[in-house]
Amino acid sequence: MSDKPHQAATPPAAVASAAGTASMVLNAIQHPVIMVDGEGKVCFANWEAESFFAASAAHLSRHLLSDFIPFGSPLLQLIEQVRTRRAAVNEYRVDLSSPRLGSEKLVDLYVAPVAGLPDNVVVVFQERSMADKIDRQLTHRAAARSVTGLASMLAHEIKNPLSGIRGAAQLLEMSVGDEDRALTRLIRDETDRIVSLVDRMEIFSDERPVDRAPVNIHSVLDHIKAVAKAGFARNVRFVELYDPSLPPVFANRDQLVQVFLNLVKNAAEAIGDEPDGEIILTTAYRPGIKLAVAGTREKVSLPLEFCVHDNGPGVPTDLLPHLFDPFITTKTNGSGLGLALVAKIVGGHGGIVECDSQARKTTFRILMPASRDGRPVDPAPPAAVATGQED
């Protein structure tokens, strides 16, 4: 008789419970995760993977992974490498674009072996669009912080001597002839222009906490539209595509007005005198990535998407990566602070702002946290019901 200690078998119910728990954990991950068996079939796919491949887990399990990704994709080579070496690998910026998966499917990959299943491999996909949003947001916040320090310095070191220069110009204006009076007025006007620029920059140095509350974004956009139609965009056609079931945004209403006023004014100026000029305002619910809210340790989703589209000539390609940096502008007399201020305000609300641009189609997209009972929340997706209104 063997003297080896008897090992109790794991009860089937416990195995099933563990498998169910693992499945729930994987489904909670906001990245596509699949497991590929030794034959190359997808034997597991979480919910995000089903969305990524536009196919159910049951459908995926009946096919090879190679049926869903581009021919010759480096992903297949990575899987074979992991099987051979039994070691995890990372690969960045892998292009999986195809007619089946869609265009611009650029992903980072993590491929690892599965303990106890020698031929099985787990693949985690991170779409670069999500990573790039985080990178751009961090860049925008850093740019805003650099302007903050510069604004504080300018306010103290420049405005005082400028008031002296303006006062001297006023005194000279009373004692000079008509020919020289134009020069004193020029000095005064240019001094006022510089003071106005410094005043605008002082906004960046204001780090006081912002009062936030649930705000109906559609009332904000309606207000912006009314202001624009009465002034700088009177000849532009507006189109509204709103989701009426959208929850309130957790924000400061006055600052939201400032953000969208800047964006709509930029769109109108880009369109110029084009007879078919059009600005489209859209709101929608989108599954948001999680970012920390400024001033708290809390992380919230950004499910609310607000867009300003225009059919102007577009942003120059070389300017696009630096669009939200201070002093970057294509306008002859522009200060380059409008979009930097937009980045500061949106970032201060824990949101993201980005721009996609091509000829005749430019989109400024803002992702923001929602609100319920005066607090930021991650609500369940409401029914997507869009309304289209034109004038």
pLDDT tens by residue, 284-297: 987 655 555 444 45
Q: What is the pLDDT of residues 346-362, one digit of tens each?
A: 888 878 888 888 888 89
Res. 156 pLDDT band, cuts 50 70 90: low
Residue partners of 75: CB distance under 8 A and separation at least 6: 65, 69, 91, 94, 96, 109, 111, 123
CA torsion sign, 246 to 252 to 253 to 257? Answer: negative
Structural domains of the chain, ranges and CATH numbers in brackets: 16-128 (3.30.450.20), 209-390 (3.30.565.10)
Closest CA to 329 of 279, 265, 276: 265
Cβ(237)–Cβ(279) below 8 Å: yes
Percentage of the chain surpassing pLDDT 90? 18
Could you tell me the pTM of the whole model? 0.50
pLDDT band (50, 70, 90) for residue 381: very low
Residue 123: pLDDT band (50, 70, 90) is very high
User: Which residues lie below 8 Å from residue 109, measured CB to CB, with a gap of 6+?
Assistant: 75, 78, 90, 91, 92, 94, 123, 124, 125, 126
349 within 8 A of 368, measured Cβ to Cβ = yes
Tens digit of each residue's pLDDT (9 = 90 or more) over 159-196: 677 778 888 888 888 888 877 888 888 888 878 877 76
